[in-house]
Structure 1
Amino acid sequence: MTQPRRRRQSLAGLANISFGFFGIQIGFALQNANMSRIFQSLGTRLDDLPALWVAAPLTGLLVQPVIGHLSDRTWLGRFGRRRPYFLAGALLAALSLLIMPLSPGLLVAALMLWVLDASLNVSMEPFRAFVGDMLDRDQHAAGYGVQTAFIGAGAVVGSIFPWLLERAGVSNVAPPGVIPDSVRVAFWAGGAALLLSVLWTVLTTREYAPEEMAAFDGAPAADEAEGHAALAARGDGAPLAWLGAGAAVVALVAALGLEKEMYLLGALLAGYGLASLVAIKRARRARGAGMLGHLVGDFAGMPPLMKRLALVQFFSWSALFIMWINTTPVVTGAFYGAPDAASPAYQEGANWVDVLFATYNGVAALSALLLLPWLARRVGKSRTHAIGLTCGALGFASVFVVPDARWLLLSEVAIGIAWSTILAMPYAILASALPQRKLGVYMGLFNVFVVLPQLLVATVMGSITKHFFPTAPIWTMAFAAATMLAAAAAMLRVRVE
């Protein structure tokens, strides 16, 4: 008997599947381009910015694997299994975008950043798996390419909107401790756009029922039993080593008087060791794997291809997070000579950052549709990604040689090409190589290697900036260029059939 196949989607069908990501990325873009600005407007010092950003990656680290695991096992009849998470996350994110610019102080702003990022992650993670659910392997590259185009388009809108509002007459300046009206209106409009775009995907798509997915990909029972047995057979050495590593980091931070945010790294290492130990003990006692056991077992048993891609993700996202945290102080300080957030020149420079971020996202959208398919057919997905990452490294390095802020647009073109490959190529490779019935949890676990470098940057980069170049944050771009180049080198080790 011929194995049934998923319906082949037209361009309109591919667009419906990923259109919600357009709104989700508007939310992420508003966050990435404006949160440092909001924090500085509310009185945060430059070297304290990374600590305030810790909430965002930490939230993704915890939320995405859990949501992936749950959505793999959810079925709510006509509402499906991924779409309920799209909608719930979008509602909470829209509410957060409404409240964020009304924050009376740093505590509320930091809390709303946490809620916003948690909500965006609840919506985003199932969208990655949704493409794999809805498409056969021969359409994965096209599906993730269209998704990347929507990500780029949404990011353009979210990044440039405050700048456009200023041109339309909305005030871009405010007294000390007050967020400008241009940022407030942008956040409110972004919340509405996010909710409406996710509703579009929810209302225009129909998910395959569990019986149909089983027919496409086979029953999961044997794999589940094998995974539980493998977990029970694991020794205690590795979990204890993780616990020891976490304790060592905490002791080192205390002994050397390092930044207190670095305690988080020790806590995460120890937490993973403890979770592994509990999951193994439960498996040995035949109490059932449970969600914790599944997550630990799937993380430890990642396919080799996923492990090699994880290293690439670690380096590339380190560079991106350095950029998101530091671009505003770099541009306002080095190119506008205005490190003071209360000055008009600072606000002008911050709005130019919105234009720069819109540029790299716009280039990414065009690259995903026009450049990447052509390049991948000629040199393969792995080399395409390596070329894109090399372009990103050159873009970061060019910050040191451009004569003025306008020339940074060329830097953003190179970074945009890298961004397009980061968003498309790893997921297209994985979606065709991973077991489809575990696509949600594996995509969530893959996000760990997006989040860990962000946590490392958020906890360590502040110390580096404070001690080595407290008044010259432009040197953070040298770190970004080096780590992006390391990602390109690591990608050359990934072989795709």
Structure 2
Amino acid sequence: MLKIIEKPRLNFWQIWNMSFGFLGIQFGFALQGGFMSRIFQTLGAEKDAIPLLWIAAPLTGLLVQPIVGYLSDRTWHPTFGRRKPFFFIGAVLSTAALFFAPYSSALWMAAGSLWILDASINISMEPFRALVADKLPDSQRSYGFVVQTLIIGIGTWVASNLPWMMTQIGIPNTAEPGIIPDSVKFAFGIGAFVLLSSILFTIFKTEEYPPEDLQIFQRENEESKGFFNGFKEIFKNIAEMPMVMKKLGLVQFFSWFAFFTMWSFATPAITEHIFKSTDTASVAYNDAADSVGNYLGTYGLVSMFFALILAFVTSKMKINRKLVHMFSLIAGGFGFILIYYISAPWMLHICFALVGISWASILSMPYAMLSGTVNPKQMGVYMGIFNMFIVIPQIVAALGGINFLYKFLFGEEVIFTMVLAGTSLILAGLCNLLITDRGATHDV
């Protein structure tokens, strides 16, 4: 007889513990997003070549995420659970890649480090998304993803400021031409430690629910066993994805095109437009690049506070996920566009505060909307497939989409990449109007 597990409501600290590993994952992503372009420039990359150097990261995610999701759906061990083995494997590989990335002595080494780092983080990240849906009843899904976003916001803020913090305690932020400064190396080393330790914390502090019927689970896995059967089922799931997922995919496309543009071009755009510095070996450039990390940290800090507000609200009442997401994305779009018009560096805090509102929503609302429309037995693979809508826009951007669009629509100056990011984010917000399924837009 099928044993139905009634999922109990969890308290804040139980949800915090099972999501805490995302602190380390976000340390990795924030250091990668905030400083890999700086590393590329230091090693001699031209500005227009930077997106192409990022191409390995989304290409890897396109392959890794659905495969890991599929495998984690079919994994169960009475001691290690379903998702936790993937947390551990990803954590070990990510830690090594994050530590060694700033020691690259050539562009191909830095691009390779980014590829390994992104692939490894993806091994851990998607099972974390699926774990929230595994553990929480639908009435707590928004709350669970928002708490996860709160942790991500903390990680973004601290990690983005790490090179600046290292400089403040006396670690040099300049080096010989072609050499990565020690402040960046120390920051990546700290990030590697936090990544591994925070994921281990979640592994040891979280219990997973077993399959509802272990015999049926094992029989279904045996029937679908095999490399080609796995790919066949993934493609079948892609073909049969819910309509809500397709509509959310359009929202995700424009959202992540915007953020990939920011990660690729924020450092060259802001150091050149606001700080008037382009010499990567100069003190002025490296001080400016540290400051960019500080301003990027603002979006992490604000996303943390916005997530805290959302966590309080979603714990007390039901929300319209679609409207929250739409207005949050539009706010971030205006934040990006304002970067072009400001002259005082401190005003970047205002711009990135608006971006932080978008970031908090991007990391919670789409997943909450999706989780209410997906078969729980396929949660991992669908979370992985859903993230194809994250990596595809990044691939489009890296293969020339950014360079063509900002020059075609706005002008040759690299600061127009931020205007392009803002325009894309506003389009993402408006695409939410396509989503009408009440099961996706409202908490149950």
TM-score norm. by structure 2 comes to 0.92
1:304 aligns with 2:246: no
Question: Closer, same or farther in 2 for the Cα pair 1:220/1:442, shift >3 Å?
Answer: farther
Task: Name the CA shift for 1:466/1:440 in 2 (closer, same or farther; >3 Å).
Answer: closer
Q: Which residue in 1 is equivalent to 2:104?
A: 103
Question: Residue in 1 aligned with 2:253?
Answer: 314
Q: Deviations over 1:214-240 (max 9, x none)?
A: 9xxx97999x99xx9xxxxxxxxxxxx
Mapped partners of 1:444, 1:74: distance in 2: 15
**What amino acid is aligned across from residue 25 of structure 1 in structure 2?**
Q
Q: Report matched runs for 1:351-390 at 5 Å.
A: 351-371=290-310, 374=313, 377=317, 380-390=320-330
- Residue 379 of structure 1 and its aligned partner are, at CA, apart by 5.9
> What's the CA shift string for 1:379-405, capped at 9, x where partnerless?
611001001011011101111222221
Matched residue, 1:326: 265
Q: For the Cα contact (< 8 Å) 2:3–2:212, is it kept in 1?
A: no
Is 1:347 equivalent to 2:303 in the alignment?
A: no
**Structure 1 residues 139-150: aligned runs within 5 Å:** 139-150=140-151
Matched, 1:394 2:334: yes
Deviation (angstroms), 1:344: 1.3
Write the letter of the residue equivalent to 1:11.
Answer: F
Partner of 1:403: 343
Q: Quick one: which amino acid aligns to residue 305 of structure 2?
A: L
Structure 1 position 8, deviation (Å):
2.2
Instruction: Give unmatched runs, 5+ long, in structure 1.
Output: 229-286
Distance in 2 (CA, whole Å) between partners of 1:197 and 1:296 is: 34
Deviates more, 1:477-486 or 1:459-468: 459-468
**Distance in 2 separating the partners of 1:458 and 1:377:** 41
Partner of 2:427: 486
1:161, 1:288 → 2: CA distance?
42
Q: 1:453 and 2:393 equivalent?
A: yes
3-state SS in 2 of match to 1:169? coil
Q: Which residue of structure 2 aligns with residue 204 of structure 1? A: 205
Please report how far the alpha carbon of residue 366 of structure 1 lies from its aligned counterpart in structure 2 after TM superposition: 1.1
The residue correspondences of 1:461-480 to structure 2 (distance < 5 A) are: 461=401, 463-464=403-404, 472-480=413-421
* Structure 1 residue 489: Cα displacement: 1.0
The answer to whether residue 64 in structure 2 is matched with residue 123 in structure 1 is no
Q: Which residue of 2 aligns with 1:241?
A: none
Find runs of 4+ consecutive structure 1 residues off by over 6 angstroms: 218-222
Q: 1:198 to 1:2 in 2, by over 3 A?
A: closer
Residue of structure 2 equivalent to 1:495: 436
What are the equivalent positions in structure 2 for 1:49-128 lying under 5 Å apart?
Answer: 49-128=50-129
- Alpha-carbon separation, structure 2, partners of 1:369 and 1:80: 29
Tell me the SS of whatever aligns to 1:29. helix
Distance 1:170 1:20 in 2: 28
Write the distance in 2 (CA, Å) between the matches of 1:415 and 1:429: 21
> Residue type of the partner of 1:10?
N
Query: How many residues matched?
Result: 434
**Change over 3 Å in CA distance of 1:85–1:4 after alignment to 2:** closer
Q: CA deviation at 1:495?
A: 2.1
Instruction: Check 1:425–1:460 CA distance in 2 against 1; reply closer, same or farther (3 A cut).
Output: same
> Which has more radius of gyration?
1
**Structure 1 residue 2: Cα displacement:** 9.9
1:417-462, Cα deviation, whole Å (9 max, x unpaired): 0111110001011112211110000000000000000111111146
What percent of counterpart residues are identical? 42
- Tell me the distance in 1 between the aligned counterparts of 2:154 and 2:182: 23
Of stretches 142-151 and 397-406 in structure 1, the one that deviates more from structure 2 is: 397-406
CA distance in 1, matches of 2:227, 2:350: 55
* Partner Cα separation in structure 1 for residue 205 and residue 344 of structure 2: 46
Measured after TM superposition, the shift of residue 374 of structure 1 is: 3.4
In structure 1, the partner of 2:442 is none
User: 1:342/1:465 Cα in 2 relative to 1: closer, same or farther (>3 Å)?
Assistant: farther
CA distance in structure 2 between the aligned counterparts of 1:79 and 1:355, rounded to whole angstroms: 38
Q: 1:330 to 1:399 in 2, by over 3 A?
A: same
Cross-structure match for 2:31: 30
- Which TM-score applies when normalising by structure 1? 0.83
- Following superposition, the deviation at residue 106 of structure 1 comes to 1.1
**Alpha-carbon distance in structure 1 between the residues aligned to 2:411 and 2:45:** 14
Shift of 1:4: 3.4
